[in-house]
């Protein structure tokens, strides 16, 4: 079970309104008690935070807002003492425009070796006034920005995130060195950001309407596999081999699985599952699709309900069309938080019962909803700004956590300081969702997560590989894991429980021997 920490929003030890590594250190016992095996930290490196840290200025330094390298080393060691491993984020596609390499590239001018580490190109049009291609950025808008001497540089994300040229030997060498830097500090693995995007077609064609697998100018190019084989060799060179986890958004499952071959990455996030609506047919299909994709390469499946880029499950599943994973599509979709929470509880038991690795994004174990009414002037996400304000962006799932029922920042920061949290927490309801309140409530979302994670460890069936579907009606998902059955009712009426000897855990009270709508149960047969 891997718990994702967004350091900016987890716990603020020094009261400056931004979460920090010493804040995480004080909360390690909480994570141990939750049942966490590893923490994945979104980027904690020196960064102007133009994209929440995914604009790295220096991989070998911690951003002063988060602490120091010594804090990181202490955190890694203290977590390890509690049996918790650390995974750090590596962002190969781009660096910050404040990175030394990019500053040198700007200073050195066209045709310089410094520019060759990036993608500087002349523009089209009579005076080079048009960008080299019409590619569309993942954050809306174009992918090229012009510099004063007239050249354009490529950025698939924000202009503050110039793309690296992976044909350049310095880029390869540097990243392998960064891996070693963190592995040498006891880090157990890396999460590879935007892992299917770093390699570009150097001819820079437009994106064709249709193309063969591997034929897109900047997604899923075959050359990527050589890069990750090199990284795997670095990971395998340690006495306790390190792991690579890919952020790979690809619809084609054969292409997806290629990244998980035995000499490449160990696993990758399951976005297919995450993006499916609350619908039995959809989820059954995704689970089967996932297991089928992973089996041939022998990689463990992963189960992901959310992360720092998508709408919180309580909110998402509370919408009539719960396939709206991204905030951009949320306008005009009324949300029923009560049903969203019931479904998110059931989804937690569903994912925790499936074979493979489970990822939990901070705050999902508290059932936090998306904060949908952040004041416009508080928003920080470049996705919002680059969409011209059309997309609300991802800030709503990044609001600082509530640790206590009351207090200035609900225990996120110390009460004595007066700096506001970097994103405002909702005045109503946030404290009621705090760790303090849920800790002593056996019916809380937190209690459910803890109970599920205890069983996930103690039940041999849940640790193993065995998985088989049970025959059910259409709106019900049911499967066995040896002698444990997981059953989820996605319909609208209660359904009879399958035969069992013992009820291990339920997401809500049973109606006699019936499982209510939007609920899940773990049973022993």
Interacting residues with ligand NOJ (CB under 6 A) = 51, 54, 91, 157, 193-194, 247, 308-309
β strands within 193-283, DSSP E: 243-246, 267-268
Three-state DSSP at 383 gives: helix
Taking the alpha carbons at both ends of the chain, their separation in whole angstroms is 25
Q: Is 193 a catalytic residue?
A: yes
Q: How far is the CB of 24 from ligand NOJ (least distance, A)?
A: 19
Place of tokens 């705050």: 363
- In terms of CB distance, is 9 or 507 closer to ligand NOJ? 9
- What does the block give as tokens for 174? 């540097």
- Which stretch of DSSP H or E encloses residue 432? none
Query: How many CB atoms within 10 Å of residue 475?
Result: 16
- In terms of CB distance, is 91 or 360 closer to ligand NOJ? 91
- What does the block give as tokens for 178? 């960064």
- In terms of CB distance, is 244 or 437 closer to ligand NOJ? 244
- In terms of CB distance, is 95 or 484 closer to ligand NOJ? 95
d(CA 308, CA 75): 21
- What does the block give as tokens for 519? 């609920």
d(CA 393, CA 55): 17
Main-chain dihedrals φ then ψ at residue 86, nearest 5 degrees:
-120, 135
- In terms of CB distance, is 157 or 430 closer to ligand NOJ? 157
Q: Chain centroid to CA 222: how far? A: 24
Q: Is 247 a catalytic residue?
A: yes
Closest C-alpha among 422, 455, 306 to residue 367: 306
d(CA 273, CA 304): 7
d(CA 508, CA 518): 9
- In terms of CB distance, is 131 or 198 closer to ligand NOJ? 198
DSSP state of 390: S
Q: How far is the CB of 394 from ligand NOJ (least distance, A)?
A: 7
Q: How far is the CB of 463 from ligand NOJ (least distance, A)?
A: 29
- In terms of CB distance, is 95 or 478 closer to ligand NOJ? 95
Q: How far is the CB of 42 from ligand NOJ (least distance, A)?
A: 7
Q: How far is the CB of 51 from ligand NOJ (least distance, A)?
A: 5
- In terms of CB distance, is 42 or 489 closer to ligand NOJ? 42
CA dihedral sign, ordered 237, 239, 241, 242: negative
- In terms of CB distance, is 383 or 453 closer to ligand NOJ? 383
d(CA 313, CA 341): 8
Q: How far is the CB of 246 from ligand NOJ (least distance, A)?
A: 11
Place of tokens 């054969």: 254
Answer for the pair 503, 523: CB distance below 8 angstroms, yes or no. yes
d(CA 360, CA 25): 19
Q: Assign residue 262 a region (left: φ > 0; alpha: ψ between -120 and 50; beta: otherwise).
A: alpha
Residue nearest to ligand NOJ as judged by C-beta position: 54
Identified catalytic residue from 12, 114, 193, 220: 193
Closest C-alpha among 190, 284, 277, 274 to residue 228: 190
Identified catalytic residue from 71, 160, 247, 395: 247
- In terms of CB distance, is 49 or 366 closer to ligand NOJ? 49
d(CA 159, CA 157): 7
Q: How far is the CB of 165 from ligand NOJ (least distance, A)?
A: 17
- What does the block give as tokens for 363? 């705050």
Q: How far is the CB of 99 from ligand NOJ (least distance, A)?
A: 14
Q: How far is the CB of 86 from ligand NOJ (least distance, A)?
A: 18
3-class DSSP string for 81-136: HCCCEEEEEECCCECCCCCHHHHHHHHHCCCCCCHHHECEECCECCCCCECCCCCE
Answer for the pair 228, 263: CB distance below 8 angstroms, yes or no. no
Q: How far is the CB of 470 from ligand NOJ (least distance, A)?
A: 36
Answer for the pair 468, 493: CB distance below 8 angstroms, yes or no. no
Catalytic residues: 193, 247
């Amino acid at each position: 079970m891997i718990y994702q920490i967004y350091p900016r929003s987890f716990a603020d030890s020094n009261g400056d309104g931004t979460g920090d590594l010493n804040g995480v250190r004080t909360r390690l016992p909480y994570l141990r008690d939750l049942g966490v095996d590893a923490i994945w930290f979104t980027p904690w490196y020196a960064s102007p935070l133009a994209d929440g840290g995914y604009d790295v200025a220096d991989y070998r330094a911690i951003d002063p807002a988060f602490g120091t390298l010594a804090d990181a080393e202490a955190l890694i060691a203290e977590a390890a003492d509690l049996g918790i491993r650390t995974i750090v984020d590596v962002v190969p596609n781009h660096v910050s425009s404040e990175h030394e390499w990019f500053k040198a590239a700007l200073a050195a001018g066209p045709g310089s070796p410094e520019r060759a580490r990036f993608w500087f190109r002349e523009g089209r049009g009579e005076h080079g006034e048009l960008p080299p291609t019409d590619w569309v950025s993942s954050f809306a808008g174009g992918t090229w920005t012009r510099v004063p001497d007239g050249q354009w540089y490529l950025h698939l994300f924000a202009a503050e995130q110039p793309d690296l040229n992976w044909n350049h030997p310095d880029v390869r060498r540097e990243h392998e060195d960064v891996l070693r830097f963190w592995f040498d500090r006891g880090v157990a693995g890396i999460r590879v950001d935007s892992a299917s995007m770093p390699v570009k077609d150097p001819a820079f064609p437009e994106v064709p309407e249709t193309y063969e697998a591997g034929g897109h100018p900047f997604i899923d190019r075959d050359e990527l596999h050589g890069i990750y084989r090199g990284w795997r060799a670095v990971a395998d060179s340690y006495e306790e081999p390190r792991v690579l986890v890919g952020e790979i958004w690809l619809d084609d499952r054969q292409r997806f699985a290629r990244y998980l071959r035995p000499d490449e990455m160990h696993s990758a996030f399951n976005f297919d599952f995450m993006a499916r609506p609350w619908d039995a047919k959809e989820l059954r299909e995704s689970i089967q699709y996932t297991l089928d994709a992973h089996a041939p390469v022998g990689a463990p499946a992963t189960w992901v309900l959310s992360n720092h880029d998508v709408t919180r499950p309580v909110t998402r599943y509370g919408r009539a069309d719960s396939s709206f994973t991204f905030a951009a599509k949320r306008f005009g979709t009324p949300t029923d938080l009560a049903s969203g929470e019931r479904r998110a509880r059931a989804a937690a038991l569903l994912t925790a019962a499936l074979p493979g690795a489970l990822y939990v994004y901070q705050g999902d174990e508290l059932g936090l909803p998306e904060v949908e009414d952040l004041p416009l002037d508080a928003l920080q996400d470049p996705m919002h700004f680059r969409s011209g304000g059309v997309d609300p962006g991802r800030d709503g799932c990044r609001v600082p956590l509530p640790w206590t029922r009351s207090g200035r920042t609900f225990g996120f920061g110390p009460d004595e300081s007066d700096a506001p949290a970097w994103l405002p927490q909702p005045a109503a309801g946030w404290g009621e969702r705090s760790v303090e309140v849920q800790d002593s409530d056996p019916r809380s979302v937190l209690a459910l997560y803890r109970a599920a994670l205890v069983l996930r460890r103690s039940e041999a069936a849940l640790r193993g590989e065995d998985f088989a579907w049970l025959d059910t009606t259409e709106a019900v998902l049911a499967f066995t894991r040896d002698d444990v059955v997981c059953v989820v009712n996605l319909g609208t009426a209660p359904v009879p429980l399958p035969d069992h000897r013992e009820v291990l855990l339920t997401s809500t009270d049973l109606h006699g021997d019936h499982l209510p709508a939007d609920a899940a149960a773990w049973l022993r047969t």
